[in-house]
Amino acid sequence: MSKTASGPPAGGGRSRSRGPARSKAMHWFKMDLHVHTPASDDFEQGGVTYVDILRQAELKGLDIIALTDHNTVAGCVAMRRELEELTLLERLGRIHADEQRRLEEYRRLGDRVLVLPGFEFTATFGFHILAVFSPKVSLRELEHVLLKLNVPADKLDVGSTEVGASTDVLTAYRIIDEAGGLVIAAHANSSSGVAMQNMPFGGQTRIAWTQDEHLHALEVTDLDSRRRYRTASFFNGSKPEYPRRMHCIQGSDTHRLTRHPEDRNRLGIGDRATEVSLPESSFEALRELFLGNDFARTRPYRPPAKEPFDHVQAAREQGASIVQAFHESMTARGGRMFAILCDVCAFANGKGGTVYIGAAANPRVEPAGVDDVDETIAQLKAEIATKLTPPLEVEVDTLESRGRRIVRLSVPEGCDKPYAVEQSKIYVRQETETSLAVRDEIVQLIRSRIGPALPAEPTPVCAVEAPASR
């Protein structure tokens, strides 16, 4: 929310510079996109002001927060109205000393914390969806979105989880997305979450609700878990029924200022946060991240005493799959370079994938790392450009794991299948293995690109039974 007379404060903690995102250095920003305010009727602490919420966000080191009250933007309206009134009093020269201090505090905090407006919508059957918007969007527009979602007009300011018969999940995704919002499935793996654990809904419903094109991210409660079957690993693109890899984040879902002293599960602001790598602290940069396919730019926040989240190690713990492969080294000797090219080809012929160089698949083995990163990247790009046809844009960068540099190849799904190595060798990925495509697989690749335009294969003459002689 921009720091003007017409909106609540908007800061960004660190750099807030403008310009094309890709030309800037990236920084890690700490965010909590699931913050309730006293405008939610189940907010637990009395006497909390909106300045208190911003102060607590600053105290927890947050750069970005979203105000997401239940089926209302009343909290955003209250914060904005207070700032407008204080600004007006200042302009008229009628502001009291305590009011001036509060206005200055709003402005100071607005330079530290980016406040995004939004709401937590209750869809049909009680499933919760976070909608997060740009601070440039008027709150009247957001109220109009709530009305389109069938929130009754007389409940727009109530802040209740119960709003009667509202809109189904998929329609809600579409309406929020088309209004310019970020669509995030709230606490997807727990109560009222669309992953629907322990709920009597069919698998096809769960697939639709977690793979829809209008859904941008899943909020999960076990993002930092080391369990093999944590939610994020289930939606990493390796499951045939869930082929779309999803951005996974975590949020506090706080209904109080600070964590409850006796119940540690009742979190406060920023007690379960996510870090995101952005060129600047802005809604536009955040939306660009969630619309993209770089999943190493989000990670669960860990206190300084703990090591930062290691994306390479997390990938190794999941193991090789239909969407990721590992190579401990890259040399022409022994065919390792050729094996990497084969993986790139196979991922391009599939749904895309990631190739890690410098780390074996076994998570117990220390990563070898890559010594000359620049030379390795240049060699990879040259080999891909000369050996892979048709041309394919593969992003090559580096990540750090246990103090070692790992080269990462982010391979998109190709739009001109089939892809081949050295003109004629077409590779596909089956579970954890890359292999040469057989005839039926090549036909399927061509059909997947051309579709109905490709005629059915004619029945060979030799297969037609000759008519009986008379």
pLDDT in tens, the chain (470 residues): 444 333 445 444 443 333 334 457 999 999 999 999 999 999 999 999 999 999 999 999 999 999 999 999 999 999 999 999 999 999 999 999 999 999 999 999 999 999 999 999 999 989 999 999 999 999 999 999 999 999 999 999 999 999 988 999 999 999 999 999 999 999 999 888 998 665 556 678 889 999 999 999 999 999 988 777 788 888 999 888 899 999 999 999 999 999 999 998 899 999 999 999 999 999 999 999 999 999 999 999 998 878 888 999 999 988 999 999 999 998 766 689 999 999 999 999 999 999 999 999 999 999 999 999 999 999 999 999 999 999 999 999 999 999 999 999 999 999 999 999 999 999 999 999 999 999 999 999 998 887 655 455 555 554 444 444 43
21-309 and 316-451 have identical folds: no
How many whole angstroms separate alpha carbon 153 and alpha carbon 41? 17
What confidence score (pLDDT) does residue 18 get? 34
Tell me the sheet residues that pair with 117.
67
What confidence score (pLDDT) does residue 3 get? 41
How many whole angstroms separate alpha carbon 23 and alpha carbon 156? 42
Q: Which amino acid is at 20?
A: P
CATH superfamily placement of domain 21-309? Metal-dependent hydrolases (3.20.20.140)
Residues 127 and 192: beta-carbon distance below 8 Å: yes
What confidence score (pLDDT) does residue 304 get? 83
CA nearest neighbour of 300 among 32, 61, 15, 68: 32
Question: 316-451 belongs to which CATH class?
Answer: alpha beta
Contacts (Cβ under 8 Å, ≥6 apart) of 288: 21
How many whole angstroms separate alpha carbon 301 and alpha carbon 309? 8
What confidence score (pLDDT) does residue 225 get? 83
What confidence score (pLDDT) does residue 152 get? 96
| Burial readout 274-304 (b: 16 or more C-beta within 10 A, e: otherwise) | bbbebbbbbbebbbebbeeeebbbbbbbeee
By the 10 Å C-beta count (0-12 exposed, 13-18 middle, 19+ buried), 452 is classed as: exposed
Break the chain into its structural domains and give their ranges: 21-309, 316-451
Q: Which amino acid is at 264?
A: R
pTM score, whole prediction: 0.83
**CA dihedral defined by 7, 13, 17, 18, rounded to 10 degrees?**
-50
How many whole angstroms separate alpha carbon 204 and alpha carbon 195? 11
Residues 390 and 416: beta-carbon distance below 8 Å: yes
What confidence score (pLDDT) does residue 19 get? 36
How many whole angstroms separate alpha carbon 293 and alpha carbon 394? 12
Residue appearing with tokens 């200055």: 104
